[in-house]
Structure 1
């Protein structure tokens, strides 16, 4: 077997487990060896390590089996921007899930450590801070549980807030539900989008195993994205996307359906709308970043606003495209 075997999930494989798909793609390898690859983080889905053999695949997923462990983000890759008894604001690295899938929650600690989720990583950082402050080893038990009030796609980097108390959780969820929280993303996309508000109803399966928009107003969830172009990058553009709603993959779907695929988006790069987009951008990963986050502090009412530039990988990609376009 070569160092790496990669393939794209076709429509007829949608809903199968990663393990089952690996078995079909590498028929010469036993079930036990494939399980070992997963346990050792030697399998990736869309460039990100996958340790769960039960994970269900979607159309367009790119699955690869490697001879070496896939590098995964660790707690030190997470930056804490604000922490108090009620909230914590962080910058999530690309490749880190916000929280675990239900089937992964009972994994042993050693396996979780290979690929920590954001909530686990943040808790680890908080515990380290507490131990550094007073030298006690039982700080993990004393820390309040982190409560998720919104999420970022695994491949998306950027700003996210978590609640540390029930009161804060209820308040923040209310702000996101009423659309008073401020959320702005930066994306590098194919083509040249116009300034517009995209509104559609999104469903989990539009008929080909992927999320997408449907014309029936009685189906799915309403999704609204405000798009504003920021800079012409030749064949590409830097755009700002302000969320009014926060559905799964919302920005990626809305832009792809307009023919403006987000660079590095493997999942929606196949024929998704009327226009086929061949991604030759050589993006290092999904070029989507949660750049701005604003909300009222759930206890004090103080208006808080955070802004984070592109991380190094996307900054270098952006500068390269910019240099070519000028």
Structure 2
């Protein structure tokens, strides 16, 4: 193991973290609150890229940190679900991983193997000693929830890649990078081609009319609104939907949410209200948002709610990036908005 040089200042690490730490204000119903806006930010660069045609390879991750991998890893530790799914889809293996949620859509042929991997704790609080005990020759961590631990691993001399898989383009760049690392580029390109083909088939059916949406995001304590740099926002953009929150400022730099402003939503009066969640289950999320709509009269000013044009987006597609199944997430939202064109997907 060797010590790698950090290319950018540590401030970038903090700026790009998706954990929201701002002040909050309540919505006035049920103790739900929202994060106060600080600044809007975005990043159109690749989530991950690899330089070189054979080993040694230089990997540049989302944080623009470079890692030189001398040879194909034999004991990789992939510490979160979405990169783990893509890694396995390209023939990779992991020696351990964080707790895998039941709402992560795993590749069927590897589901049992992935669920039986040694656990290193919750994705947001991994046990570093446990990871080290498995003696990994490559650690693949997740931006935000694992950024602090990733830096510590790097400082210890481990080869570390920090992934950020939020949208479709992130999925594509991760497939391409992992394909090189696993020496399976042809398979990676075939997976990318299939995703592209399916996405284009869905987009080709879109009508000329343009619909508008607001994408609500609920947790057990908060309601916010998703921006374009979220999974749901990215899918809406692919489907050429008008996300009424597109131009609003983010909670913090790099955040994918903006504070809830019901008056703004009433003013814009979107055609559909889409609901994403970080609740224990999809069913509980539905119950909480229905209670919010029933208890707060301000929501009655939104025509979509009056007419029942409210749809819940399942966590396996819109909380956790579906990775290999991103086309299914696109088609799921497409059927919600245009059921006469896309039928049977959400059943």
TM > 0.5 fold call: no
TM value normalised by structure 2 = 0.26
| Bigger proportion of residues as helix | 2
TM value normalised by structure 1 = 0.27
| Bigger proportion of residues as strand | 1
